[in-house]
Structure 1
Amino acid sequence: MEVVVRLVGIHHTHASGIVALRGIDLVVDPAAPTVLRGPDGAGKTTLLRVAAGAVVPTAGEIEDPPAVVGYLPDRFPARTKLPPRRWLDHMTRVRGLDPDDTGERADELLEELGYGGADDEPMSELSRSDVQKIGLVQALVCDPDLVVLDEPWSGLDDDAADVLTRLLAERSGGLLLTDRTGTAAGLAGARLYRLRAGRLAAASDPDSVPLRTAPPPGSVMRLDLACAGDPRPVLESLPPARVEAAAPGRLTVRVPVPDSDAWLMAALAAGCAVRSVRPVRREADGTPAAPDTRSRTGVPRPSDRPARRPRGPGAPQW
């Protein structure tokens, strides 16, 4: 396995005396996005800063550090008076690259993310969404070996969030990020870790139970997708699934856990974008999730259609 970066025995104490990290061992490899979760103050942001090289840990070692890191901090310098283009050029030079070599790709990313701000106005006057898009572009445009993102979907509009999910799903190389939206868990092969009081989850720690990387056997995943136009024709080219909703621009389905990765890849290939992927272990009444009883297009089969109610005074006329 090609390792992008390995954190070994990482401890860190802030200047205030607060201990942020306590013996973290973590491997980030290009085959699987690494997703950190945990409550506020758990040490997630500090761990990302250490991995990105922005903070030198009090103790421990970072093995195989990548040559180029794309980093989106939790507090992007939105109040800077620099215009966006000059900021992007500056960050490119910081990484030892020529802005002329990355300018075209930066323009492409800004257009894909739906950036609506002006190139000549200070970043302090941009909307939160546009500032976040600038931050994402500076992290991704340099074709980094490792991308470190702190809540990358925060502040984005729905369309930009969908584009970001696709960009992260398509890229190669290491990916380490935090995410409160649950979107990152839907990235193919994502490995989820929880931090609590500066410690990485371990089975021996009763206060820090590791997150499951998959629901229990027999459960299903709910996939919420964005598809251009009417999604029903798209369904004809995808594996069978239980369709919860199919409306212009939106598609929600349930698929068995073993088939979810293949279904997502097929949906992406069909031009859909992933909004969220969440496990559905049981129905609301506590029974196991119901099996697929719908056709490929989501239309109930004749045997599944509800019986007609007798017509009468006050009865709905079907």
Structure 2
Amino acid sequence: MACCSWIASQRSSLVQQPAGPQQRSRRRRGLAARAGLLDTLIKPITSSGERKPLKEGIANFYDESSQLWESMWGEHMHHGYYPKGGAPKSNQQAQLDMIEESLRWAGAEGATKMVDVGCGIGGSSRHIARKFGCESRGITLSPVQAARANEISRQQGFGDRLSFQVADALDQPFPDGEFDLVWSMESGEHMPDKPRFVGELARVCAPGGRIIVVTWCHRVLAPGEAGLSGDEQALLDRICEAYYLPAWCSVADYEQLFREQGLTDIRTTDWSEEVAPFWGEVIKSAFSAEGVSGLLKAGWTTIKGALVMPLMAQGFRMGLVKFVLITGRKPE
């Protein structure tokens, strides 16, 4: 528990606003060294145990962790939206605001049928279905999540309007052009084949429909830059190992993939600063008495995820880890 206490004590210093453009290069070097210290302390814990294949690991991670997350945070398994200078609000309200602000930013004013790609336990689907009066189909690799999403939706009276199933986002079990709203909230980072992922989103989108992807990316490479630095890549590798993530890409890469699919009205934005306060709240809850008890019950995979949260925050401080939105429309 000494390591847990030390990590928890870092949350206020880790989750701060990023450096400005003129300071970023100098600060990145110093922060990379600090990330190395964090990595040295956490690595022996997060590296133990045999790593499962990617799809199996993702499913197991969410099978193990979803019940704990729901018990502490509710039905929305994603970050909250905390605009700078905004009024104080609960973390649960911040999560609802993340959905509302994402829809508003993308210009999504209605839908008749949506697909929730990486649906968790269905929180986004239920919120958007209430807002727009639409149907929703959700997919996840986690059988635990799919079952719980269906259970909550039945309890809340959605009937056949909402349904959730186990399926691969890279091979969706839906016909072409099925949905006028294609929604992916914090699932794109798990996709090992980003071109195929975007291709499937475009395939199931109806002509005139809207695609919204909210996901984690690494920073955009500068012109002539061959790749991330060694320190940056090492940090991402540690995060990927704990969360069962494949190689990351940048928002510029997503923008290019959207263009290649012939999508129009393509826009992107960076909300890294708007979500940064959420890390401190998650770390604080994870190392509360209830959180520690829940982590121990949930299992080793979930514990590793909690321990790596400070590295995510460190990546943000380095200007490496980005929380981005990408939207586009399928031509009529």
- Structures share a fold, TM > 0.5? no
More strand by share: 1
Larger Rg: 1
For normalisation by structure 1, the TM-score amounts to 0.25
More helix by share: 2
Higher RCO (C-alpha 8 Å, min separation 6) = 2
